[in-house]
Amino acid sequence: MTPGPWELLIILAIVLLIFGPRRLKSLGSDLGNAIKGFRSAMSEKEDPSQPAEDPRIIPNESNSSASADSTTEQETAKQKQDV
């Protein structure tokens, strides 16, 4: 059973009394922005021309850790030579 037009008006009046017109406007715009962001994210994901990025790969971090590992290996080699 769906609510008729009078029931919807009564519900709208109650919601306006509880939240107020300013709060409803901000809630509506926030909801609209969230839906817009969701749709754009879904359309980007479905685009086959763009390769999917692996979220586990962080380019800057992998390069810095590799250089840190090689620096540690060089220091270890120097310490062995000194002994």
Task: Report the predicted TM-score, pTM, of the whole model to 2 decimal places.
Answer: 0.39
Length of the chain: 83
pLDDT digits (tens, 9 = 90+) for 47-83: 556 555 666 666 665 444 444 555 666 676 766 666 5
pLDDT digits (tens, 9 = 90+) for 6-30: 999 999 899 889 888 888 888 889 9
Amino acid at 75: E
Amino acid at 83: V
Domain ranges of the chain: 21-46
Token pair for 17: 């009394």
Give SS3 for 78. Answer: helix
Contact 15, 24 (CB under 8 A): yes
Contact 11, 3 (CB under 8 A): yes
HSE-CB for 2 with a 13 A CA cutoff: 2
